[in-house]
């Protein structure tokens, strides 16, 4: 017997995401409904809406799907290459729009503002990434750049690399951020040492290091707020 794929239009009246989008707008739809529109069809025994709900739960929401391996998604029952490609493309478009919008107009007023820029993606990376958020004199974002990928320690991090972009863009300040793949953003002694080195270098180069954020899953730590690596 061939598998039966329940399509969006075959869902009961009132449960069809496309109809709800047309009537109420995309902002009124749940994450599962938006994902169901991208997937279009479900699998035998499960509607496309149930498939969407299961995927969001399995991968930890949009951030997990954004960082999921394409080939792993292709192998996931109910997806396949076409759906996986559609999903990855849509999520990448969203990511690029977020970054482009923030680069043009986003102003950082607090550690929480900086974390908003970074946590969605960085909180689910499986390797440590060191990034800088470059800021102008009004603390508006000029650029977000990845400086290093891999286990961070003072022996391999060249502090000068952290400031290359800031010097090129004539930045007034920057924020450093890195993630802990474990999900726990508690700073390590090595994090404190690196922070201290970066802050001292910033003084020499006349670039204000506003903060060093450690990103976990859904959480972050501001090293400045904790007084770690920053002179009090």
Residue-wise burial string across 37-66, b where 16 or more C-beta atoms lie within 10 A, e elsewhere: bebebbbeebbbbbbbbbbbeebebbbbbb
Predicted pLDDT of residue 67:
82
Q: Which DSSP state fits 156? A: T
**β-bridge mates for residue 213, sequence order:** 177, 222
Q: How many CB atoms lie within 10 A of CB 19?
A: 14
Buried/exposed 213-231: b ≥16 CB within 10 Å, e otherwise: bbbbbeebbbbbeeebbbe
Q: What is the pLDDT of residue 2?
A: 36
Low-confidence ranges of the chain (pLDDT < 50): 1-6, 8, 13, 103
Closest C-alpha among 75, 136, 140 to residue 104: 140
What is the reported pLDDT for 153?
A: 62
> What per-residue confidence (pLDDT) applies to 5?
43
Calculate the dihedral angle through the C-alpha atoms of 126, 89, 131, 62, rounding to the nearest 10 degrees: -60
| Residue-wise burial string across 140-149, b where 16 or more C-beta atoms lie within 10 A, e elsewhere | bbbbbbebbe
Task: Please tell me the distance from the alpha carbon of residue 39 to that of residue 46, in angstroms, as a whole number.
Answer: 13
Sequence-ordered list of residues with C-beta below 8 angstroms from that of 95, at least 6 positions apart, any chain = 66, 121
Give 141's contacts (C-beta < 8 A, 6+ positions apart): 102, 103, 106, 107, 108, 117, 133, 134, 135
Sign of CA dihedral 200, 201, 207, 211: negative
Beta-carbon neighbour count of residue 6 at 10 Å? 18
The structural domains of the chain, ordered by start, are 8-97 (1.10.150), 106-226 (3.40.140.10)
Torsion sign across C-alpha atoms 227, 200, 121, 150: negative
Query: What CA–CA distance (Å, rounded) separates 164 from 162?
Result: 6
Q: What angle do CA 142, 145, 151 make, to 5 degrees?
A: 150
Which pLDDT score, from 0 to 100, does residue 217 have?
A: 85
Alpha carbon distance 117, 33 (integer Å): 25
């Amino acid at each position: 017997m061939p598998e039966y794929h329940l399509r969006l239009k075959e869902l009961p009246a009132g449960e069809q995401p496309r109809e709800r989008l047309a009537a109420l707008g995309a902002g009124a739809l749940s994450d599962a409904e938006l994902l169901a529109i991208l997937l279009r069809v479900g699998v035998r025994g499960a509607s496309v809406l149930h498939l969407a709900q299961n995927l969001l739960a399995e991968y930890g929401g949009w951030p997990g799907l954004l960082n999921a391996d394409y080939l792993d998604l292709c192998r996931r029952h109910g997806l396949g290459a076409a759906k996986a490609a559609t999903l990855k493309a849509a999520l990448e478009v969203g990511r690029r729009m977020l970054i482009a919008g923030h680069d043009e107009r986003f102003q950082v007023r607090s550690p929480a503002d900086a974390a908003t820029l970074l946590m969605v993606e960085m909180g689910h990376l499986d390797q440590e990434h060191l990034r800088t958020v470059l800021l102008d004199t009004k603390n508006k974002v000029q650029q977000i750049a990845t400086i290093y990928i891999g286990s961070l320690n003072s022996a391999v991090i060249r502090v000068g690399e952290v400031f290359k972009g800031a010097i090129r863009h004539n930045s007034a300040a920057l924020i450093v951020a890195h993630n802990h793949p474990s999900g726990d953003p508690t700073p390590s002694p090595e994090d404190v040492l690196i922070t201290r080195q970066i802050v001292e270098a910033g003084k020499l180069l006349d670039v204000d290091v506003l903060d060093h954020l450690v990103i976990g899953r859904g959480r972050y730590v501001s090293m400045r707020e904790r007084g770690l690596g920053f002179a009090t």
